Each structure stands twice: as C-alpha cells, then as structure tokens.
Amino acid sequence: MAKDNQVKAPTKKLNKAYIKRYWQLYALIFLPLLYLLIFKYLPMRYIILAFKEYKLNIPLKEMPWANVKGTTDVFKYFKTAFKNIDFIRALKNTLKLNLLDLIMGFPAPIIFALVLNELRFNKFKKVVQTIAYMPHFLSWVIIANLVTQIFATTDGLFNRVFGTAIPFLSDPSHWVGTYVGAGVWQSFGWGSIIYLASIAGINTELYEAASVDGAGRFKKMWHITLPGIKPTIVVLLIMNLGYIMGGGFERPYAMKNNLVIEACEVISTFVYKNGIQQLKISLTTAVGLFQSVVGLFFLLTANTISRKLGERGIW
Amino acid sequence: MKKKLLSAVLAAAMVLSLAACGKNTPASVETPASTDTTSTEVSASAEETKTDEPDARGLLNGKFVDTRHITVELYDRNVDGGTEAGNNAWTKWIQEQMLERYNVEVEFVTVARWTEGDDIGNLLAAQNAPDICYTYNYGQIQTYANMGGVLDLAPILEENKDLVPSMFDWLGDAVIYQDLDPSTGTLWAIEGKRNEICRINTFVRKDWLDKLGLKEPTNKAEFEAMLVAFKDNAETLLGADASKMVPYSISYDVGWRAATLIESFMDPDITDKEYYVNGYDDRKFTENGTKEAVRLLNKWYNDGLIWHDFAEHSGSDDTTEDDMIKAGFVGAFTHNYDYPFRNGKDSINATLAAQYGDGAKFVAVNCFEDKKGGYNKYSYSNTGDRKVFFPATNDEPIASLLYLEFMSQAETVQYLQIGDEGVLHTVDAATGAIVLQAPDEAHHDYYQNSGKNIDMTINCNGLRLATPELTTLSLAFSYSDVDPEDVKTAIAVASKDAQIPPTPSVGDIQAETEGTDLSGKRDQTYDKAVVASVADFDAVWDAGMAEYLAAGGQAIIDERTAAWDATYSSDNLN
C-alpha cells in the first residue's frame, strides 16, 4: 500500500481534489494506519512504567514514581537491570546470536535466489522452491522438537546413524551452531522470495547484451543480477540491523536447555521469565525500552551509512 | 468502477475483521447452565419465608435474596479424550447446586494447568481475574499482594465466620490462618488440605529382576549393582533394542526425579527450623546432604547408568521419557508415588502388561538407606497445599466464601470424587471399598479431567470419603486397570520412615518475591552437576550454588531464619 502511494506521489501539496481522486487508496490505508495507532502507538504510553512502581489496583497515572525506600529514583529499574548478571548475560547472548544469524542467515537467501534463478528446468525449480519455503510455516516448538530428536547426543538420529556422540545440544558452542543452523534452515527459502521478485524485475535486455559480449553465467550473475538486486539487499540489511537487539521469543525459548543456559538466555526470554512469570513489569519495561532504543540507534546508523554510500536507505 | 468496488469491498472486509477481533471474548469462559429451571425454585422458596427480612449482607436463611454472580478459576489440563474443562457434567452440577443453595451463579474461567501462574498474572494485570483463584505457589500470591492485587481475607472471615462452618470444620483454624502475617494481621490466602500425603517412590522393573534372578534392592549398593546388571544384560532384556537400554531414568528436574535419593542423604534428625529455612525450594537444593546425593548421581551418569540425554529434553511437554518407560526400555525411575498407575489403560503398568505380559511392571522399592539405617524421606504435609485467594477486583467476597463453604462439605467432595454408583464407581462386595472406574461412553460427560476432580475440590487434594476409614480402604482401589496390591505396596513403601514437613506460621517472607529465576538456576545446577566429569563435579556444583544464593537464595534463607527466630523460641515446633 505504501508503494501505491509512492507510484503517484504528488509533487505539490496534498489537496482535496487529490484525496477525492484517490479516496479508495486512502480508504485502504486507513485501517492499517489505525492498526498501527492502536496496537503500536497507543501502548507506548505504558513506557512510563519503566520509571514507575507498577501496581495492580490503581490507574497508570496514580502509580508512584520508582523509588528506593521512599526516595524517588526514576532510573531505579535501569540500574537494577544492569546490576543483574542474568540481564547482562542475556544482552551479550542477544547480540551474539543475532550477529551470527545476520552473518550466516542474511547471505543464505541471496545465494539461494541466485542459484535458483540459474535453474532452467522449471518443474524442478518449483519443487525445490516449495520445499525450501515449507519450514517457514512450522512453529518453533515443532522445529525444536525435531532438532532434539535428530541431534540429541546419544539418542538423536544423527549420532545414531553416524555412530558419533557430537554434543549438538549439550555443549554451549555446539548449541550455538545448532541454533544458527536451524534458523538458516527455517528462513532461507522464505527469505529468497523477495530477492527472486527483485531478480525478475531486472531488464532482460541487459542479459542479452551481456551474452552478445561473451559474458558467461557467472559474469552475468556478478555484473547484472547482483547489482540489480543491490537496493533490495541494502534495505533488508538495514532492517535486519534494526533487529540486532531484538529477535523473537519462540526460537530461543523452544530450543533452550539447562546445560547451555549461559549461551541461550536472551533478552526476550529474560523479559518473559521476569515480566510475565514474576510480574516484574517495571523492570522488564525498562529492559524493553533499552532494547528498543539501541535497536533504533542501529537502524538509524545503518541508514545514514547507506545514504552516505549513495544507496537509497529506507526512507 | 471495478477498482472502486473492489477497494470498497476490501475496506469493508477489513473493518469487519477488526470488529470481530474486538468482540473476541475468552473462549474458555462458560456461562452457567439451566438458570431458567432453578430460578422458579428460588422464587418459590423466597415466598415461603417472605415474612423475614434479609440481613445486611443480602442473605435470608443463608441464601442470597438477589442472584449473585461469581467467577471461579479452573485448571484446564487439555486431557486427551477428556471433556471441555469448563463445561461438563461436573461444572454443571456445581453451578446448579450453588444456585439452588445460595442463589449464586458460578462462571468458570479456565486457565491452562502448566502456565496457570502466567495466565492468572495476566488476568490480574487486566483487572479481569476470576473472583476465586487458586495456586500452589504462595510466593506468587505474595507478589500480587505487594502490588495491591489481592483482597485481605482476615476481616472478611472475621465478619462472615458464621457462613463457613464446614470450612472451619474441614480445615481448622491452623490451616485457615496458616498464612496470617503476625506483624500486619493480613491474610492473603487460605491454605487447603492434602488428603493423600504419600509423595514419592522409586520404581524398578519387577520382571527384569526376575529374569536376571535378582532380588529387589534394599540399599544404594544393591541398587547400583542392579543398574549395572541391567546395563550388562541389555541383550537379554531388550534383544534387538539393547542399545536403547536406560538403567535409571531421570529428567531435567533432577531435584524431583531423584528426590528419594537426595532425601536419603539428608540428616533424618534435622530440626524443623533447618528444614523450613531451606524449604523455600521444594527440590531440597540447599539442604544438607544434597550435594553428596548429586555426586552419586554424577558417578552413575559417568558410568553410563543414567539416561544420557535427560537434560536435552527440557520442555515440560516433552514426553520422550514417558514414552521410553512405556516402551519398556527403562529399568528404574523415581516419581510420584503412584505414577505407574495413573491414567487407566494408558498407565505405565497397563501399557507394559499389554506389550510384555502381566509380569511386566514397575514396583515401588525402598532402596536408598539414610545414615541411621532407615529410609528417610518426606511426605506431603496434610495441612497447607493449594492456596485460595480473592483478587482485589472481587466484588462478591461473601458469595465467594459461600463457594468455599460448599466445596468444604464432605458430601460435595465425595460426589465430585466418586460420582454415582455404577457410573464412576462400584462398591467392593468383600471389603466395602469404593472401586473407581472410568465412565462408559454413555456417561462420557462424567469423565474426570483431573484425577478425582482435584482441580474442582479446591481446598481438598486427594480422596476424601465420608469417613477416614473408608478413604484409606478405598485408596488402593482408586486406580482403574491396576492391581490394587501394587498400589498398596506403593503406599506402604512411600509411607515407610516418611517425615511430615513442618508447616510453621511465620508471616510473609518478602525475599521470596524478589529472587530472579531461582528455580531455573537450581535446575541448571542440578543438571550440569550430574553431567559434569567426576573431576569437575565440585567446581560445577559450587559455582551453580553460589549463583543461586547470590540471585536471591541467600536472602530468602536469611529472612526465613529471622522470621523463625522472631516467632518460635525452639528449633522444633513440637
């Protein structure tokens, strides 16, 4: 919908006639905007809980400011968080796992899209594509159980078949590999769709001209396809950098186990344990706020750098 | 034109879907049934006594003049083959009875059993919690109370004691006021009672012992020798599946699944104070002797006697271990004292018998001797179990109390537990014992989603029949598809040398609401210590313990010590 607006973006000031002419488009975008307002913007007023003492029985406005034995200290919960070794551990793991995800997981769909694009046998291509998409639709609970059945140290399928005892799940560094691998497996097929769409938009004349000039497949890929999808890659990279402090909850939660806890506790699981399970609402709101601010910082930085390098950025 | 029409349709569709979301009420909430039939009875009875005036509470002869409405929490265990948790013959019966007796409409709010704490926390935060809530975890109630989310029951009980005679009869002052804070006088929760206090047993495969010509183990050395024999004779016992042999199986929850072993390492003469001070953690993590028990587990693990992957299967829904036990790959395990008998035809023993013949079964044994030569272990305490509390949003505390009164009556509990004769139970001709059975197809609505409907009898956990004698007599018959003799043995084994944990009344311990992920740290330490190399054991255990204590464990121990000293002059209650 945002694209629709861009296509015929007015050069002059928005006026009534314009709205009248495209009212259907505005009608269409109104509801998604309303959704954003209600579910994304209005809840933001509760950010103030990070600076207050949460109570169950009084309205937000009346909740007292965070205090230590009566002395107001609005940053109390931020200080508590940074003194908590679980939080520090979760912070480090979040950065580490997301960075590894980015390094391993970001190029995978691009490479897959490029390879798929080179396939000429259409039926085979479609089958491969469908199979690669499928894991995206599986819940992490299912994937985590599959991973346990396949990679458990002694009873797992892998170690039984190969007669090995690789501690995929019980040794922290091996676990990180399993975690990242499962993430790549789950998402590379789905992630490639946007690149395939982008590749389809490249002018075929370029390829024909390159063929005439004697360029082989690899040369065409390097000099035409990749530059052709560069803007898409950059936009997605910037958005992914915005998530570097975030990340989902299901995947680390479903895949964790007690033996590798120092590697698998992340901010989202920390917030769940403390906020939802123990009702430490103020503490976890503070953590969430910190997480968002750092995420925003990464996003803005990446965007600025990309603009400086002559790319379009995300706005 | 086409485009206009399309976008109008799309926009309308979105509006509708959004509206549908807004109307979304919790699917689990059930409204009471058969209001029509009973409302006539109500008006009839009101007419008979119309000369009397209702009291200030709106009650006339113990019954509300105007119909009141309360909501009650109910666990949803999502049982395979069960009925809808909040809508079945039992919930309807309770609703009818409450309306008839007290003119109170009951609405059940179901919450998932294994995430009940999370769910109730969310409902409380949304100002939407049921009027009557219950949980096993007092620390959780304390947390809510600190945030102003719980009603103080002390004044409510004070003013309405006349309405709840059965509750005072059943629970007694000691249980009702167990959680009364001596300094503030607040009472955030009413404890329930546990009527079956057997807690835990270690089970071994009887047919394997017979096959190998072994006797049931009676001490740790014999138990270990038995595990070694199982391992060495895997080919004989399991044939082609020999590689799947698991001599002793535990789960990631080591503190529970090796509790008999851990408790045998504790000093049987421990004072009530020491037990209580370390008792916040029901997995005995900080008790004396626990480390040595885990050291033995660590040795067994490194000798290949314990399920190697136990800690990797850490989800609470992971049934891998149960499946292994039922498939017949496991030689011994420790669990609830009646674990192999639970679930009728799907029980462990019934499953084994179906596959390998009647001789294939697990039997309970006492095999972990303590330092005095007995089998030290802890049962449950009869007093103090599930805790009932009223959220601050409860605007019908008196009607809610009447619900507790109803649930405290012996007939109510008995009916919920054993139902009608012929449907849910028969009477053993020889002994007069009540023999429970699963309802047939025609009476499927009487299926009990929790054993003996314990989720409904909120202040009674365990069989409670008309007389204590009948209860004891019937206990062994309360499992369908199981040999009652095996149950009797299990009860006897679990009761041998079992100590009843002290239940002091020392008021609220604030530190219990402040620790961060203590149970997680405890389990992590247990697990890591069991799988460590023998040489690393001490380092792993000590590091884990230090982290647990620093995260709030020590603060709880200190505050409990201080509270005990402030309340009692001796280290023992009696």
For position B150, what pLDDT does the model report? 96
For residues B507 and B563, state if they share a domain: yes
How far apart are the CA of A282 and the nearest CA of chain B, in angstroms?
12
pLDDT of residue B41: 43
Question: Which chain A residue has its CA at the smallest distance from B145's CA?
Answer: A56
State the pLDDT at residue B385: 87
Query: Of A1-5, A173-177, B243-247, B561-565, which gets the smallest average pLDDT?
Result: A1-5
For residue A57, what pLDDT is reported?
Answer: 87
For residues B204 and B332, the answer to whether their CB atoms sit within 8 Å is yes
Residue B323 forms contact with A (CB below 8 Å): no
Calculate the alpha carbon distances from B42 to B39, B48, B54, B58 in Å.
5, 10, 14, 14
B231 and B334 part of one domain: yes
**pLDDT mean over B159-176:** 95
Residue-range definition of the domain harbouring residue B99? 35-195+385-408
- Confidence bin at B276 (pLDDT 50/70/90): very high
**Do B315 and B395 belong to one domain?**
no
Are B392 and A28 in contact (CB < 8 Å)? no
pLDDT the model gives residue A298:
87
Domain count of the fold of chain B: 2
Q: What is the pLDDT of residues B335-353, one digit of tens each?
A: 999 999 988 888 999 999 9
* Average pLDDT value for chain A: 89
- The pLDDT tens digits for A164-187 are 999 999 999 999 999 999 999 999
Average pLDDT in the A185-202 region? 94
Q: Does residue B3 belong to any structural domain of this protein? A: no
* Nearest in space to B279 (alpha carbons), one of B560, B571, B572: B560
Q: Which of A215-229, B10-24, B50-64, B137-151 has the lowest mean pLDDT?
A: B10-24
- Distance, CA of B563 to CA of B273 (rounded, Å): 10
How many angstroms away from the CA of A221 is the closest CA of chain B? 39
Q: What is the mean pLDDT of residues B372-395?
A: 94
State which residue of chain A sits closest to B118, comparing Cα positions: A277
Q: Is B528 on the interface with A (CB under 8 A)?
A: yes
Mean pLDDT of A271-299: 90
CA distance B372 to B367: 14
Q: Report the pLDDT averaged over residues A10-20.
A: 70
Q: Please say if the pLDDT value at position B29 is more than 60.
A: no
Residues B87 and B144 in one domain: yes
pLDDT of residue B504: 92
Domain-embedded: residue B426: no
Q: When comparing pLDDT for B21 and B474, which is higher?
A: B474
In a domain, B5, yes or no: no
Do B180 and B249 fall within a single domain? Answer: no
B149, closest residue in chain A (CA to CA): A56
CA–CA separation, B444 and B82 (whole Å): 8
| H/E run at residue B527 | helix B518-531
Containing B107, the helix (H) or strand (E) segment is strand B104-112
Per-residue burial over B305-321, b = 16 or more CB atoms within 10 Å of its CB, e = otherwise: bbbbbbbbbbbeebebb
Q: Is the pLDDT of residue A119 over 90?
A: no
> Which pLDDT does position A245 carry in this prediction?
85
Q: In terms of C-beta density within 10 A (0-12 exposed, 13-18 middle, 19 or more buried), how is residue A89 classed?
A: middle
Interface A:B, Cβ pairs < 8 A: 115
Query: Distance of alpha carbon A18 from its chain centroid, rounded?
Result: 36
Q: State mean pLDDT over B93-113.
A: 97
- The answer on B204 and B335 residing in a single domain is yes
Q: Are B78 and B121 found together in one domain?
A: yes
Higher pLDDT, A211 or B42: A211
Q: Which residue on chain A is closest to B312 by alpha carbon?
A: A257
Q: Tell me: do B243 and B277 sit in the same domain.
A: yes
User: Cβ contacts (< 8 Å) between A141 and chain B: which residues?
Assistant: 315
Q: Are residues B189 and B247 in the same domain?
A: no
Are B363 and B333 in contact, with CB atoms under 8 Å apart? no
> What is the dihedral angle through the alpha carbons of A150, B532, B335, B556, rounded to the nearest 10 degrees?
-120
What's the pLDDT score for residue B468?
A: 85
For residue B34, the model assigns a pLDDT of 41
Strands B434-436 and B425-427, bridge-based pairing: antiparallel
Task: Give me the residue from B312, B393, B517 closest to A170, CB to CB.
Answer: B312
Check whether A110 has a pLDDT greater than 90: yes
- Is pLDDT above 70 for B20? no
Residues 6+ apart with CB under 8 A from B216: B204, B206, B209, B363, B365, B367
* Confidence grade of residue B18 (pLDDT, cut at 50, 70, 90): very low
What confidence score (pLDDT) does residue A22 get?
Answer: 87
Prediction ipTM score: 0.84
pLDDT of the residue at A314 = 72
Give the mean model confidence (pLDDT) for residues A93-107: 94
Domains of chain A: 84-308 (1.10.3720.10)
Write down the pLDDT at residue B46: 44
- Whether B80 is covered by a domain: the verdict is yes
Give the integer Cα–Cα distance in Å for A301 and A241.
9
In a domain, B349, yes or no: yes
Is the predicted pLDDT of residue A104 greater than 80, yes or no? Answer: yes
Q: Are residues B219 and B156 part of one domain?
A: no
Half-sphere CA count of B509, side-chain side, radius 13 A: 29
- Is residue B440 within 8 A of residue B426, CB to CB? The reply is no
Co-location of B262 and B356 in the same domain: yes
Mean pLDDT (whole number) for A229-256: 88
Q: What's the pLDDT score for residue A14?
A: 64
Identify the top-confidence range among A58-62, B34-38, B307-311: B307-311
**B119 shares its domain with B229:** no
**For position B479, what pLDDT does the model report?**
85
Give me the CATH number covering residue B344. Answer: 3.40.190.10
Tell which B residues from 106 to 145 touch A, by Cβ distance under 8 Å.
117-118, 121-122, 124-125, 127, 143-144
What part of A 86-125 touches B (C-beta under 8 Å)? 86
Average pLDDT, whole number, for chain B?
Answer: 90
